[in-house]
């Protein structure tokens, strides 16, 4: 599978969502750094003492837009978790009127993604940018997982779905997920664009994910109308 064989394209998404969407800060109240700090401190306290390097496991937008300094990256697999669209977005990639949906890790199966090793001597300061980005909307839980890579296993921080969040969709079927992605749009852009960038990133890395591949075809069908 290559990005050239995608049914979903940037041009198709742009035609379906030509108008910008204004940000509605009331749609999702995000946590402040002060509110986020105790959770990060707790996560770091739970980190294995044997783990000297800081790793983050990326499976969605962090693969193509990490927004942190990367010292090393490895393709790897996490067992016991799988990638799935199961977290509503009423802001950023969606709105209250047209919510989108983004990826999280759900229990069961396995997931191939990218393990990033981060630069920085202060673990709290090094991880806070990614912790802020993923945790401020109360949709995820931070968790340390073992990532199997060709160069050996690494322990990495990743973000799994918070099932107690009101953003958790439950296990929707792929047709229902595609319906939400096709219509969802927020001030950061369409939900379909998030899917598109993730599928392209996976294709470029040689990661085959049938869930993503089926969804991009379903969303393309809906956008073509």
CATH code of 170's domain: 3.10.490.10
Categorize the per-residue pLDDT at 45 as very low, low, confident or very high, splitting at 50, 70 and 90: very high
- The answer for residues whose C-beta is within 8 angstroms of residue 206's C-beta and 6 or more apart is 75
Say what the pTM is. Answer: 0.95
Q: What per-residue confidence (pLDDT) applies to 67?
A: 83
Domain that holds residue 203: 3-14+24-220
Torsion, Cα of 108, 116, 204, 141 (10° steps):
40
Say what the pLDDT of residue 109 is: 97
What is the spatial distance between Cα 95 and Cα 88, in angstroms, rounded to a whole number? 10
Q: Is 143 left (phi over 0), alpha (psi -120 to 50) or beta?
A: beta
Q: Which of 106, 134, 141, 193 is catalytic?
A: 134
Q: Residue 47 falls within a domain, yes or no?
A: yes
Report helix, strand or coil for 39.
Answer: helix
| DSSP symbol at 119 | P
Residues 6+ apart with CB under 8 A from 89: 99, 100, 101, 102, 167, 184, 186, 191
Q: What is the pLDDT of residues 96-151, one digit of tens each?
A: 999 999 999 999 999 999 999 998 889 999 999 999 999 999 999 999 999 999 99
State phi, psi for 29 to the nearest 5 degrees: -85, 120
Asked whether residue 174 carries a pLDDT value surpassing 90, the answer given is yes
Establish if 126 belongs to a structural domain. yes
pLDDT in tens, 63-91: 999 988 899 999 999 999 999 999 999 99
CB 146 within 8 A of CB 155: yes
Q: What is the pLDDT of residue 47?
A: 87
Tell me what pLDDT residue 3 has: 63
Q: How many domains does the chain have?
A: 1
Half-sphere exposure of 59 (CA within 13 A, CB side): 30
Percentage with pLDDT > 70 across the chain: 97
From CA 129, how far away is CA 146, in angstroms rounded? 22
The answer to whether residue 193 is catalytic is no
**Residue 69 belongs to a domain:** yes
- The phi, psi pair for 6, rounded to 5°, reads -70, 140
Residue 114 located in a structural domain: yes
Query: Quick one: pLDDT band at residue 2, thresholds 50, 70, 90?
Result: low
Asked if the structure places residue 225 within a domain, the reply is no
Is residue 19 situated within a structural domain? Answer: no
Residue 131, pLDDT score = 97
Residue 129 exposed, middle or buried by CB count within 10 Å (0-12, 13-18, 19+): middle
- pLDDT band, very low/low/confident/very high, at 52 (cuts 50, 70, 90): confident
């Amino acid at each position: 599978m290559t990005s050239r064989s995608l049914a979903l394209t940037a041009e198709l998404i742009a035609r379906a969502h030509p108008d910008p969407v204004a940000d509605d800060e009331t749609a999702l109240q995000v946590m402040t750094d002060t509110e986020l700090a105790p959770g990060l401190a707790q996560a770091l306290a739970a980190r294995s003492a044997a783990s000297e390097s800081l790793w983050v496991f990326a499976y969605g937008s962090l693969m193509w837009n990490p927004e942190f300094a990367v010292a090393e990256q490895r393709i790897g697999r996490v067992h016991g978790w799988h990638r799935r669209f199961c977290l509503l977005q009423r802001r950023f990639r969606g709105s209250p009127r047209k919510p989108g949906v983004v990826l999280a890790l759900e229990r069961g199966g396995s997931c191939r993604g990218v393990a990033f090793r981060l630069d920085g001597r202060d673990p709290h300061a090094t991880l806070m940018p990614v912790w802020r980005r993923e945790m401020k909307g109360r949709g995820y839980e931070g968790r340390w997982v073992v990532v199997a890579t060709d160069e050996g296993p690494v322990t990495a921080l990743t973000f799994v779905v918070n099932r107690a969040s009101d953003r958790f969709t439950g296990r929707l079927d792929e047709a229902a997920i595609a319906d939400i992605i096709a219509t969802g749009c927020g001030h950061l852009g369409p939900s379909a664009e998030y899917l598109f960038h993730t599928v392209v990133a996976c294709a470029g890395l040689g990661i085959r994910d049938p869930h993503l591949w089926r969804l991009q075809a379903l969303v393309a069908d809906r956008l073509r109308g």
